[in-house]
Structure 1
Amino acid sequence: MAHVVDDLASLNVQRSNQSELCDVELKMADGILHCHKSVLVTCSKYFEAMFSHDAMIENVEDKVDLSQFTTDVMDSLLNFIYTGDMQLSIDNVCERLAAARYLQIDGVVETSCKFIIESLLPANYADFLNEISRLSLRDTELQIQKYIESQMCLEFAADSEGQYIKLPFDYLRQLLGTDNNLPHIKSEYEIFKLAIMWLNADLDTRREHTGQLLCECVRYPLIPLTDLTNHVLPYVSSKKDSNLMKAVTDAQTYHQRPDLHVSQYGGLRSTTLRFYTDAFIGLPQTGSSRFLQIWHHFEMGHTVYLREAIATSNTRVIPPGAAIAEMDGFIYVAGGDCTRVSPRVRVVQRYNPRNNTWSVCQSMTHRRHSFSLTSLDGKLYAVGGKKSPMTVECYDAKEDKWTEVASVVQPVYGHRATTVGDKLYIAGGKHGSIQCYDPAINKWECLAEECLATMNLLEMCSIGSILYVGTWKTDEDTAVTIHRFSLEKYESLTPLQLGLYGDSTKGELVCLISMYLEKNMIRIISSVTDSCPTSSSCYIDEIDPVTHRHRRRGNRYVHISAQLPAIFFHMRRVKIPKFMVDDE
């Protein structure tokens, strides 16, 4: 191939010297360039079509009028064609890209687009987006949009040297109205302020977009009531837009009537949380009283952090033995307190993290303690428990109504539950059986008897057709065992031993806090405490569901704002609004 390179080098010398051996003349806005038809044809579909037809006047006269381009731009493109090299900068890349797009020089287009993506800054993203959009380079346009979405927040918009206000309306509406969880946007109020910032930049010409932008893109019920009343309402009132005003007044009603959050507002786009962060909910034991606690969960580098959310609502005392479930962004707490014959053991409470409010739901039909509460296809299922080990009832949140369904095959309490597809599975507890419920036919089936005969607490999750059940003994062992059960073959698979966590001879006890899926891995969080714990050390194990290999991540949790209580029951992974937590 060396001779090919040498030939091109020789031809490039002829071009640079404007030699008579060049066979075509390019007329630019500020001069004339000479080059070779054969070289142009190999790199440009535009020139290939031009010089492949004898009837084309340019082919006959050996002259091409490109007066819309300067010699500087065209010489740069020719240098790339002849040598494969082109000097790009933030200042010149757009004009070279535009010329290459027109002349269909794909190599220059590809190189220029790559340079733009690598050069994106707060000071140029809108300029690049508008130019790329004008040239209809959709793949690059999507990459620029991805950059904007990864950075967007009030500070980014304000510090971008006027770039934010240059964003076109159609894209801004898409950006602010997205269902995606933009990483740096914390609340709907921030979306409202971003919309106002863009509108105010050119109010005369953008006035027509006010109603559409503010009505479609902002979810007013999710704005904290103080911001809604003190800042949003005065601005909206001044616009005299009836649709916009109705959206805000409906949001005020949403805050004032927690009892309507599900029946009237449930499932609406305006009340669907989009800017959320991962968290755990749990009921830590604190003497005779327990409060719902929410712990923010996030990762930085190789460290996982867990700290208490700043806006946790501790206004409701939760009785011991209660169960927790998350459904449609609401946290339900039900039952408990079996030591007393009290209506409290049937009570169901609903917590809405969107605005930090509680409401009381219809009570369960039966008193329950140490039972499972699981969501499936928009319904809650309360299964078994002390006092009612055979009964099962289903809760319709829209109707605020409990209905009894088919009873379990064997009595259960102290068990756990999970869902696979459209079915509900329970395991462990009384008898240690694995049972399956199919809501479509309202029938329970016992898949395996006494395969998990333990009265100890456990957790479970599923991937595909495999159930993973974590167990341990609270009184003697300090090891966690992960049992596996095939739902296709209805048989137990070889269990996985995760190894020892502490020393039982020193009074150290293990407590399995949670099992959940994370990045296609099964993550198990366990704590080790002494006999009189005030805090606990946490371990993270991860299991690859394909190879069944597991690795110990060690004591990775760092407790920042408060120590993790030693014992958690029914700890569940949920999503909470970002405004409930401090910045990391």
Structure 2
Amino acid sequence: MAERGVSSPPPGSAPPPEVAKPGQSSRSYRNSDYPTKLLKSLHDLRKDEHLCDLELYSSLDSPPILANKNIVAAATPYFHAMFTSGLMESEERQYRGPDRMRARQKLVLQGIQFSVLQNLVDFMYTGEMKLDQSCVQEILVAADMIQLKEVVDICSEFLKTELHESNAIGIWRFAEGHNLVALRDFAISFIYNNFCAVAREEEFLELSKTLMCELISSEYLRVDSEYQVFCAAMAWINYDISNRRRFIFDVLKHIRLPLVASKLLESYVNNCNDISLKVALCSVRRDLVSQRGSLVSLYVKPRQCAKKNIYVIGGSRRELGSAWTRSECTYQTVECFDTFTEEWTRVASMEIGRILPGIAIISGRIFVCGGEVDSRILANGEVYEPAEDSWSPIAPMMVPRCEFGLCAVDGFLYAFGGWVGEDIGGSIEMYDPGLNEWRMQGKMQDARFSMGIVTYQGLIYIVGGCTHSRRHMQELVSYNPVTGEWRTLASMLVPRSQMGCVVLDDHLYVLGGTNRHNEVLQSGERYSFLTDKWEDIPPMHHPRASPAVTASNGKIYAVGGDQISEVNFYRARITISAVECFDPLTNEWRESTSLPESRSEAGAVVI
């Protein structure tokens, strides 16, 4: 019989669910609103002057700002160290009142304005801060002093949004002076990216010589031309000409004067009203014209972040109208690609068309030598002045060459090998632009043509190509133009010729070309000068033989080239107009603006 008060379950029914006994299970719950509510309540208690154990003063005679030691100690390492490390140096004079045990602790923070300190304490209780241009710097300095990092970050972000050409230098110097690294870097980047506008402001004109020279010497000025930097420097001198004219040569050594168009420099000199300044500028101009280099450096490179254009020069076009019609031409035209707007424009054409010429840059001028036209191999050359958009002839090479290697080292041109008529060339010759003459420099290890050539840290690197005994080589060698020493390095992963080559960030990139089966390659690889090792990179979107390849603003551009086309069983090499860009940071290729016309066997350089 069942006990009274306890019923038994009917037969066949399910047993009742088990109920956990106290202590057998646990769960965590969190109320996300509670911390905010707690802070608000503490702030209300503080406003009503309840339960406060700390009085903060901005000076000995300022009104008190009430607070709680545990709150301010939790808010900043500064107060945490003060109230937890046993520092007693100021307690006796900061405790006031007849009952020391019940009196609030008094603390004077010298150097912080009352309103600023009030804002900082309010932030510790609310997490809110109201800023404007009149108070932000004082609040930032005080927050930095008491190690209230959150307010430092808020003020820095506010100043970033307020950056303007008129205040960028002031904010940069403020951040530099208070070691605010993120704000400093942001401000200096703004100055570099907007240099021309910043240089017109009074802040720039009032800079010390040291700081002004620090700015104009930077690789990161984003300018359209070096003449803009020259004008900014001269404006700084003219702002206080009586005291600054003596700095003219100290300032000009930071300007890359060989990149300034001679006509612009001449015009500036002619319009200069200060006699002393005019004499100095005339001497600099004579130094440039005479190529003496005693006052300014003659051989310079464009600034790393200056506006850069890609020049695609010469080459050929081969297109199929049908299986039986073919259109061909040799280009003497030059296409210019603006890497910022990604637009093509045509500039002055060469005197003659050239297929597979050698192209190199010295002091912002483009030298084009050799090549082929109408089955004739050329020795002559010409030089392009971008600032004046004009070509002029230079002395011819000693040996006519096409499909050869041309590069510039220390202000001289070096020509290697190539196809020299009915044979493969193995000679090396050097061109002195000051004397406008070529002279023989030596011989290659093996006569070679259709190879890639680049320079890196004073050495010349030659890769791939063809010799008398082997086609589509994979060897990489270096040549020291000073000692004449050759060195064999790690070989490419894929034997190739007719490829494009370029150097970027301590790496040699090799793109496309043809292999031993006469296939046009889509693949690419790169060589580390630091580790002497090769590795694959993602393939291009298009196979390319004889592409024009160059690097600008940290990216690699592959322009045009050849592809194989088959129409009605007719197989032929045709030119393409496609352009693509490789970003080593993302390891990806993207399509860019195509050439106006298909082109291959051209050269490409960046200025």
TM over 0.5: yes
Establish whether residue 147 from structure 1 lines up as the match of residue 147 from structure 2.
no
- Structure 1 match to 2:404: 371
TM superposition shift of 1:385: 1.0
Instruction: Give the conservation status (yes or no) of the 8 Å contact 1:335–1:368.
Output: yes
- Is residue 348–residue 361 contact of structure 1 (8 Å, CA) maintained in 2? yes
Q: Which among 172, 180, 192 is matched to residue 212 of structure 2?
A: 172
Point out where structure 2 has 5 or more consecutive residues left out of the alignment. 1-29, 97-104, 318-327, 568-573
Q: Within 2, Cα distance between the matches of 1:225 and 1:281?
A: 24
1:540 corresponds to which residue?
579
Structure 2 CA distance for aligned equivalents of residues 32 and 448 of structure 1: 77
CA distance in 2, matches of 1:491, 1:109: 46
**Distance across 2 between alignment mates of 1:136 and 1:496:** 42
Q: 1:71 to 1:467 in 2, by over 3 A?
A: closer
Which one-letter code corresponds to 1:182 in the other structure? L
- Contact 1:289/1:317 (CA < 8 Å) preserved in 2? no
1:118 counterpart residue number: 161
Deviation, 1:277, is 0.8
Q: Is the 8 A contact 1:414 1:429 kept in 2?
A: no
Corresponding residue to 2:428 among 393, 412, 432: 393
Change (3 A) 1:178 1:7: same
Determine the structure 2 residue equivalent to 1:557: 593
Structure 2 residue 298 is matched with structure 1 residue 273: no
- How far apart, in 2, do the equivalents of 1:201 and 1:522 lie? 42
Shift, 1:296, TM fit: 2.5
The answer for the alignment partner of 2:313 in structure 1 is 282
Residue of structure 2 in register with 1:97 after alignment: 140
Deviations 1:516-555 (A, max 9, x none): 4578776433368999xxx9862235678899x97673xx
CA distance in structure 1 between the partners assigned to 2:528 and 2:430 by the alignment = 26
Structure 2 residue aligned with 1:432, among 464, 467, 471? 471
Counterpart residue number, 1:403 = 440
- Do the aligned partners of residues 45 and 200 (structure 1) sit closer, same or farther apart at CA in structure 2, a change above 3 Å counting? farther
Q: 1:90 to 1:429 in 2, by over 3 A?
A: farther
* C-alpha displacement of 1:248: 3.8
Provide the C-alpha distance between the structure 1 equivalents of 2:535 and 2:199, rounded to a whole number of angstroms.
54
Q: Distance in 2 between matches of 1:519 and 1:226?
A: 28
State how far apart, in whole Å, the 2-side matches of 1:282 and 1:238 are: 43
Match of residue 107, structure 1, among 147, 150, 171: 150
User: Which residue matches 2:24?
Assistant: none
Residue type at the aligned position of 2:233: A
Corresponding residue to 1:190 among 228, 232, 238: 228
**Is the 1:408–1:444 Cα contact (8 Å) retained in structure 2?**
no
> Which letter maps to 2:284?
D
1:41 aligns with one of 73, 79, 91: 73
Q: Do 1:417 and 1:427's aligned partners in 2 also have CA atoms closer than 8 Å?
A: no
| Residue in structure 2 matched with residue 225 of structure 1 by the alignment | 262
Partner residue of 1:293? 334
- Given the alignment, which residue of 327, 334, 339 partners 2:369? 334
The secondary structure found in structure 2 opposite 1:569 is: coil
Task: Structure 1: give runs of 5+ residues left out of the alignment.
Answer: 502-509, 576-584
User: SS at the partner of 1:109?
Assistant: helix
* Separation in 2, partners of 1:353, 1:219: 15
d(CA) in 1 for partners of 2:496, 2:169: 62
Q: Secondary structure at the match of 2:89?
A: coil
Aligned-CA RMSD value:
4.9
Structure 2 equivalent of residue 569 of structure 1: 601
Equivalent pairs counted in the alignment come to 528
Partner residue of 1:470 out of 501, 512, 535: 512
Q: Partners in 1 of 2:528 and 2:108 — Cα distance? A: 72
Would the aligned equivalents of 2:370 and 2:401 in 1 still touch at CA under 8 Å? Answer: yes
SS of the residue aligned with 2:163? coil
Shift of 1:389: 0.9
2:158 partner amino acid: F
Asked if 1 retains the 8 angstrom alpha-carbon contact of 2:58 and 2:113, the reply is no
Aligned match of 1:31 in 63, 68, 79?
A: 63
Instruction: Check 1:215–1:551 CA distance in 2 against 1; reply closer, same or farther (3 A cut).
Output: closer
User: Given that residues 73 and 95 in structure 1 are in contact (C-alpha distance below 8 angstroms), is that contact kept between their aligned partners in structure 2?
Assistant: yes
SS at match of 1:98: helix
- Counterparts of 1:336 and 1:199 in 2: how far apart (Å)? 47
CA contact (8 A) 2:54 2:107 kept: no
Contact 2:551 2:606 in 1 (8 A): no
Alignment of 1:525-536 (within 5 A): 525-526=559-560
SS of aligned partner of 1:365 = coil
Instruction: Choose 378-387 or 368-377, whichever is displaced more.
Output: 368-377
Structure 1: distance between partners of 2:248 and 2:541? 60
Partner letter of residue 129 of structure 1?
W
Q: Per-residue CA shift, 1:375-409, capped at 9, x if unaligned? A: 46765232131325142214264785533433453
Q: How far, CA to CA, are the matches of 2:256 and 2:400 in structure 1?
A: 38
2:258 pairs with 1:249? no
Aligned to 2:174: 131
Kindly indicate whether the alpha-carbon contact (under 8 Å) linking 2:512 and 2:545 is maintained by their aligned counterparts in 1.
Answer: no
8 Å CA contact 2:452–2:462 kept in 1: the answer is: no
Is 1:122–1:163's contact at 8 Å kept on the other side of the alignment?
Answer: no
Deviation for aligned residue 1:279: 1.0
Tell me, yes or no, if the aligned pair for 2:406 and 2:416 is still in contact at 8 Å. Answer: yes
| TM-score using structure 1 length | 0.72
Alpha-carbon distance between aligned partners in 2 of 1:485 and 1:127, rounded to the nearest angstrom: 44
Aligned residue for 2:419, secondary structure, equals coil
In the other structure, the counterpart of 1:78 is 121
Structure in which a larger fraction of residues adopt helix: 1
> Structure 2: how far apart are the matches of 1:346 and 1:128?
56
Give the conservation status (yes or no) of the 8 Å contact 2:259–2:364: no
**1:324 maps to 2:379:** no
> Cα deviation per residue 1:256-305 (whole Å; 9 max; x = unaligned)?
x5xx3xx75899278543344131231155999864625133254xxx43
1:215 to 252, 270, 280: 252
Between stretches 357-366 and 53-62, larger displacement belongs to 357-366
Once the 2 structures are TM-superposed, how far is the Cα of residue 113 of structure 1 from its aligned partner? 1.8
How far apart are 1:33 and its partner, in Å?
Answer: 1.6
> Counterpart of 1:538 in 2: which secondary structure?
coil
Q: Does the 8 Å contact 1:221/1:252 carry over to 2?
A: no
Is structure 2 residue 262 aligned with structure 1 residue 238? no
> Are the aligned partners of 1:429 and 1:453 in contact in 2 as well (CA < 8 Å)?
no
Which of the residues 379, 398, 402 maps onto 1:346?
379
Matched to 2:379, the amino acid is R
Any idea what SS the aligned residue of 1:153 has?
helix
Q: Distance in 1 between matches of 2:296 and 2:186?
A: 31
Cα displacement (A) at 1:10: 3.7
Tell me the SS of whatever aligns to 2:560: strand
Shift of 1:424: 1.6
- Counterparts of 1:520 and 1:221 in 2: how far apart (Å)? 24
Letter in 1 for 2:219: N
> How far apart in 1 are the matches of 2:55 and 2:552?
62
Larger radius of gyration: 2
Name the SS for the 2:338 alignment partner: strand
* CA shift in 2, pair 1:78/1:486, >3 Å: closer
Greater shift in the superposed pair: 226-235 or 351-360: 351-360
Percent of pairs with identical residues: 15
Of the two structures, which has the highest relative contact order with CA contacts closer than 8 Å and spacing of 6 or more?
Answer: 1
Q: 1:319 touches 1:336 (CA, 8 Å); kept in 2?
A: yes
Q: Name the structure 2 match of 1:19.
A: 50
TM-score normalised per structure 2: 0.69
